[in-house]
Amino acid sequence: MLRTVRKLPMSTLKLTSLCSEHACFRKTKIRVLSLTWQNTGQRNYSYSPEDVKSLRSVINPHISRIRNIGIMAHIDAGKTTTTERMLYYSGYIRTLGDVDDGDTVTDFMVQERERGITIQSAAVTFDWKDYRINLIDTPGHVDFTLEVERCLRVLDGAVAVFDASAGVEAQTLTVWRQADKHQIPRICFLNKMDKNRASFTYAVESIKQKLKTKPLLLQLPIGEAKTFRGLVDVVTKEQIIWKPTSDMDDGKHFEQKPLLETDDPNLFQEVQDARNTLIEQVADLDDEFAELVLGEYSENFDLLPADKLQSAIRRVTLAQKAVPVLCGSALKNKGVQPLLDAITMYLPAPNERSYEFLQWYKDDLCALAFKVLHDKCRGPLVFIRVYSGSLKPQSAVYNINKSCTERISRLLLPFADQQIEIPSLMPGNIALTVGLKQSATGDTIVSSKASAVAAAQRAGRDTGRERRSSSDVESLLLAGVEIPEPVFFCTIEPPSMAKQQDLDNALSCLQREDPSLKVKLDPDTGQTILCGMGELHIEIIHDRIKREYGIETYLGPLQIAYRETILNAAQATDVLDKTVGDKRHFVTTELEVRPRLGDKAMTKPAIEYAESVIEVLPKELQGAIENGITNSCIQGPLLGFPVQDIDVTVQSLTMHPDTSHTMVSACVSRCLQKALKKAGIQVLEPLMNLEITVSEDHLSAALADLAQRRGSVQEIQSRQDNRVVVAAVPLAEMMGYSTVLRSLTSGSATFTLELASYQALNSQEQSALLQRKMGLV
Ligand SMILES: Nc1nc2c(ncn2[C@@H]2O[C@H](COP(=O)(O)OP(=O)(O)OP(=O)(O)O)[C@@H](O)[C@H]2O)c(=O)[nH]1
């Protein structure tokens, strides 16, 4: 984040269309198309159109040969650089891209290349040895955490990349927890072993302490920092040394041979000890292996064949009992090929993961749309992962989330800068679809509405519930990712009213790509409001509207998304009596509100009905009442911020038989506002977890600044030569913090900011805020 802005890409040339030739694949046509959205740099790809033949075998590989993996880490740990090396060694690209030169394959958005950070996850498909790897490079910046979680949803395994000089950093913890939630087996890659302060031991210890996991050391580095030149495979006791060749030091060539005692007696002993420890660790976690070790090989672990140990490591990794640890330096081209081998060897194939929902679908199609891209010529391109059944072009599919049937016109496999049109997509695989107009990121796609209902019924039976209605379907199926409420918002205006429609279109396209972006209308001013996860998030959206949609918009000042809650219980009544045409709408209602006590902030009110109401209330009216209550909570009575943590009881409701549901909602909504006002409103502000990594020299300046921001320091840790300050600070005090911290620390410090909770403003702060909002100060 505080890294100096990196160089602009040299070229903004559009990739020329490579080919649209037709080639035969078992009587089926395969077309190779160019990627039109990767329009910011000319790359040198290995697969030329003539190579289409070589792609035939990869179209639908056997499921056991597929690895859907993600690369995740703290910002700047080296995910994109590692991915770029993987693509190079696999033959996907012929020249190595560099994040600092802005010409990597996966960071293809202009903003990513300019800033040197990953914003959108990128999905690339390549082959390593006999395996198909679908790899997703995820963003490290905390504003894009949701993008990471969305991707984790479709991954079978992940590589967590660490900066070996920093160990576990703040964002690593967040993504690690997300991977725990989705039960994703992982491998750790200690990158940047060439850096001055790189320490294998320190990084491993930090994984043990902070991630509370059991690291399995599968490699030991040969040398550290400047002297880092290779590694030893602890399982096979082979040393792998990268030696620059005369013409190019691209890491393609390395020497792999057994490590002998005469090569380096100390290292030999270290490896011997590490292997014994590894065997003991794995035996502790895997009974089958323990039996083997205690039986045949108890006298001499040296005789234990490497493949037996590898199979056992695979089992414990898949069971998430431990995590293999590897090391290297992606930038210096060391350690990436063994990492690729480890991905194929230790991470699961799609059929080795267990998904509860699969039993409900049997062999029917069940797929997840996990990413949307907008292509100017072909409209939305939706990335789909198939879990069961198969997908074919020119077929109708049913989107459960949107309750609509859509048509897939084509299926494309993204391979380098080409897209290969494919005849079908089998379980476990990932591809791009053309033709889906409604589907958005996170939607569940099945073959038809009937198949969704059948799956829901099977699920209902399995869970011992009553037959479910079709409206219950979505709650049963592939759960999307929980989208946190945005903490920042601002108004956005087009240059003229004539451009409003274009802006609305651009925003709806961007929202389909990114569900963490929220757009709403200010009911008082009619202005469009943009809500995002952080300053960077909003900045990037603004920039994309300009560059990708050609609209120069004006953003209002960035504002904090406060919340409102109530201090006491209160009751209110309301009467609505309105005649529209010849119909009289008449409702009376009485509501009670109470503060809800609980750990988790909830913006959705808990709604109950008094006995007397529930006895006479027609079922269909319940929806209208609940809409009225929920809508009223979107805008609190004091400042118009969402109301959280309240319980509502509908004490009474009477109505004239002709009264429309809309009028019932309106009456309930108005009554709730009255009750909230009577209950006394407390404004809550977002409180953030802040983690600053700063050198000893600049620590006091950073702390002094923090004190002026109402920050409370919780802990100061040591991380190698740096200090890590862990603090809680109100978001309102953090506007423009990156600029201030940069100048205070000469650009050497970094920080991450993440929502912790909402805390009450004291009465002084609350009235000052009220005055500011009313324009009185
Ligand atoms: N010394 C050293 N630097 C590296 C290594 N790998 C990456 N870097 C540098 O670290 C910086 C960040 O690298 P990226 O690959 O963009 O890291 P990232 O994790 O993808 O970053 P985000 O996408 O922004 O989260 C760049 O300046 C890289 O050149 C490495 O092995 N050694």
> 342 C-alpha to center of ligand 1: Å?
21
pLDDT at 56: 45
Q: Determine whether 644 is exposed, middle or buried from the number of CB atoms within 10 Å of its CB (0-12, 13-18, 19+).
A: buried
| Best probe residue, ligand 1, of 81, 137, 143, 175 (max atoms within 8 Å of C-beta) | 81
| Best probe residue, ligand 1, of 80, 117, 120 (max atoms within 8 Å of C-beta) | 80
d(CA 483, CA 726): 25
- CA 67 vs CA 122, 157, 313: distances in Å: 16, 8, 17
pLDDT at 586: 92
Residue with tokens 């690729």: 340
With residues binned 3-state (H G I as helix, E B as strand, rest as coil), the percentages for the chain, rounded to 5, are 35, 30, 35
> 616 C-alpha to center of ligand 1: Å?
64
710: left (phi over 0), alpha (psi -120 to 50) or beta: left
Crossing angle of the two packed helices 265-285 and 287-295, in degrees rounded to 10:
120
Q: From the alpha carbon of 73, which atom of ligand 1 is closest?
A: 19
ipTM of the complex: 0.98
Q: What are phi and psi of 206, to 5 degrees?
A: -70, -30
pLDDT tens figures, 48-84: 444 444 454 556 788 899 999 988 888 788 988 998 8
Give the largest CA-CA distance in the chain.
102
Give the residue whose CA is nearest to atom 8 of ligand 1.
78
- CA 188 vs CA 324, 328, 329, 524, 645: distances in Å: 6, 11, 13, 51, 40
Q: Is 62 part of any known ligand binding site?
A: no
The first and second tokens of residue 113, run together, are 């290349």
> 212 C-alpha to center of ligand 1: Å?
25
β-pairing verdict for 157-163 and 66-73: parallel
> 188 C-alpha to center of ligand 1: Å?
16
pLDDT at 482: 59
pLDDT at 14: 24
Torsion of CA 107, 110, 114, 115, to 10 degrees: -60
> 519 C-alpha to center of ligand 1: Å?
33
pTM listed for this prediction: 0.73
β-pairing verdict for 323-327 and 186-191: parallel
Q: Is 139 part of any known ligand binding site?
A: yes
d(CA 706, CA 749): 14
Residue 541 DSSP symbol: H
The answer to whether the CB of 134 falls within 8 A of the CB of 66 is yes
pLDDT at 476: 46
> 507 C-alpha to center of ligand 1: Å?
31
Q: Is 140 part of any known ligand binding site?
A: yes
CA–chain centroid gap for 678, Å, is: 41
455 CB neighbour count, 10 Å cutoff: 25
Give the residue whose CA is nearest to atom 21 of ligand 1.
76
> Within 6 Å (CB) of ligand 1, which residues are found?
73, 75-81, 99-100, 116-118, 139-141, 191-192, 194-195, 329-332
pLDDT at 150: 67
State the Rg of the chain over Cα: 29
pLDDT at 592: 96
Nearest alpha-carbon partner for 167 in 718, 591, 601, 562: 718
713 CB neighbour count, 10 Å cutoff: 16
pLDDT at 116: 55
Residues of the chain with pLDDT under 70: 1-59, 97-122, 137, 139-151, 244-248, 415-418, 460-484, 776-777
Q: From the alpha carbon of 84, which atom of ligand 1 is closest?
A: 15
Q: Is 556 part of any known ligand binding site?
A: no
> 36 C-alpha to center of ligand 1: Å?
27
- Which amino acid type is present at position 480? G
Nearest alpha-carbon partner for 337 in 225, 408, 394, 254: 254
The first and second tokens of residue 444, run together, are 């569940």
In the predicted model, what is the mean pLDDT of the chain?
A: 81
606-623 CB burial, b ≥16 within 10 A, e <16: ebebeeebeeeeeeebee
> 372 C-alpha to center of ligand 1: Å?
26
300-309 CB burial, b ≥16 within 10 A, e <16: ebeebeeebb
CA–chain centroid gap for 47, Å, is: 30
Q: From the alpha carbon of 140, which atom of ligand 1 is closest?
A: 25
pLDDT at 21: 27
Q: Is 74 part of any known ligand binding site?
A: yes
Give the residue whose CA is nearest to atom 30 of ligand 1.
192
pLDDT at 548: 84
pLDDT at 539: 85
Q: Is 137 part of any known ligand binding site?
A: yes
pLDDT at 463: 56
The first and second tokens of residue 653, run together, are 């409701």
Q: Is 250 part of any known ligand binding site?
A: no
Cross-strand pairs, 188? 160, 325
